[in-house]
Amino acid sequence: MDSFELSSTPVTPKVGALDMDRLSFILFGHAAFQYLNAACELGLLELLMNRGPLTSEEIRKELLLEERSVEILLLGSTALGLTVKEGRRYSTAPLIISLSKEGAWRKIKDTVAFEQHIVYEGQADFVDSLRHSTNAGLRRIPGDHPDLYHRLSQHPHLKSIFYQYMRSWSELANDHLVAELDLANATRMLDCGGGDAVNAIALARHNPGIEVTILEIPGSAAVTETVIAEAGLAERISVQPGDMFTDQFPPENDCVLFAHQLVIWTPEENTALLRKAYEALKPGGKVVIFSSISNDAGNGPLIAALDSVYFAAVPAEGGMIYPWSVYEKCLRESGFSSIQCADVPGWTPHGIITATKSCEPPRSPSAF
């Protein structure tokens, strides 16, 4: 993992020049995604992994599709490289087979379902969202609350897709979080907006000395509690149902975690949350930001840029995949020092930022 101090983020990464191939791929990017989603939802890729190679007629019978439908599906999946055609028979792409063997394909499929059922429609309101600097696409998910998370409580199917995806998205990178965080001497951790406890459970298993409180909205707290109980960790991980903006944080923590959290809110809201974290930490304690992060050059990574469309259009009024420097500013304004960053390797644009509440008392204004 590449580690560095903020303010020293190096080199401007290169971005490939636009050519006709790339332009046409962007033009029909929505269609490419629909082929991927169809191949997942209709079970094409699993079928070929388990029983392939198969002819189009054999596939048609297994998937219960009309001939025209299977020809369209196979044309697209093969042109995109999701399936491979040799002679008259189709098989699943070798990359997907190897991702499946290592357990990553299921997580990618969970991400596909999230993109299809929660993200896709709302992104059509991206222009409006930019024009009015608000999450115009949330209107596609019925409800009154101004954020997605509270609305999900009224849509059990979407809620389960969301938490399945969130678990998978965290799991694609959180072994690095577990390896990076030194919690050997920690006893108390607060996980703000901890979702279904995916990160709290991973950290608690690795650090038997810590107890974790998860602050989560009341509409999701029952999911969190169920998953903790299933993991057998109810004695060490508890849930505090509430609102991280308006409720007090439990005090005297060694660590406060914001996992996939500060991408949702404006920098001003993030600074307010980080100030609350500062107050809730013991001197010497650490705040941790674990999230997708964009580069300070403002040109990538590509997945961070693409994922920002969702954060602009759907979950809450302000948010994006922020660059490292935005977090540095919020952290310094909240009183933190010793800011350290780690770029997580892999195809997701995850990063980990830790910052410390100094053991020295803050200097009074007269000391300046």
Taking the CA of residue 280 as centre, how many other CA atoms within 13 Å lie in the half-sphere pointing to its CB?
24
Would you say 264 and 336 are in contact if contact means Cβ atoms under 8 Å apart?
Answer: no
Output 60 or 159, the one with its CB closest to ligand SAM. 159
Output 219 or 300, the one with its CB closest to ligand SAM. 219
Q: How far apart are CB 215 and ligand SAM at their closest, in Å?
A: 5
Q: Is the peptide bond before 301 cis (omega within 30 degrees of 0)?
A: yes
- Find how far residue 262's CA is from the centre of its chain: 11
Q: How far apart are CB 331 and ligand SAM at their closest, in Å?
A: 18
Output 44 or 289, the one with its CB closest to ligand SAM. 289
Output 60 or 286, the one with its CB closest to ligand SAM. 286
What is the contact surface with ligand SAM in residues (CB under 6 A)?
A: 149, 166, 170, 193-195, 198-199, 215-217, 220, 243-245, 259-261
Q: How far apart are CB 310 and ligand SAM at their closest, in Å?
A: 11
Nearest CA to 349 out of 319, 328, 323, 317 is that of 323
Q: How far apart are CB 92 and ligand SAM at their closest, in Å?
A: 28
Please give the single-letter amino acid code of residue 88: R
Output 129 or 213, the one with its CB closest to ligand SAM. 213
Q: How far apart are CB 195 and ligand SAM at their closest, in Å?
A: 3
Q: Is the peptide bond before 361 cis (omega within 30 degrees of 0)?
A: no
Output 73 or 312, the one with its CB closest to ligand SAM. 312
Q: How far apart are CB 348 and ligand SAM at their closest, in Å?
A: 12
Output 6 or 314, the one with its CB closest to ligand SAM. 314
Nearest CA to 1 out of 258, 178, 164 is that of 178
How far, in Å, are 143, 182, 289, 293 from residue 10 at the CA level?
Answer: 44, 25, 20, 15
Output 217 or 287, the one with its CB closest to ligand SAM. 217
Residues 291 and 309: their CA atoms lie apart, in Å, by 16
Q: How far apart are CB 174 and ligand SAM at their closest, in Å?
A: 8
Nearest CA to 190 out of 287, 308, 325 is that of 287
Q: How far apart are CB 96 and ligand SAM at their closest, in Å?
A: 24
Q: How far apart are CB 192 and ligand SAM at their closest, in Å?
A: 7
Strand order in the sheet with 237-241: 2-5, 337-343, 350-356, 281-292, 253-259, 188-192, 211-216, 237-241
Structure tokens at 8: 């020293």
How far, in Å, are 111, 192, 217, 331 from residue 223 at the CA level?
Answer: 19, 15, 11, 31
| 34: helix, strand or coil | helix
Output 32 or 108, the one with its CB closest to ligand SAM. 108
Strand order in the sheet with 89-92: 54-55, 89-92, 83-86
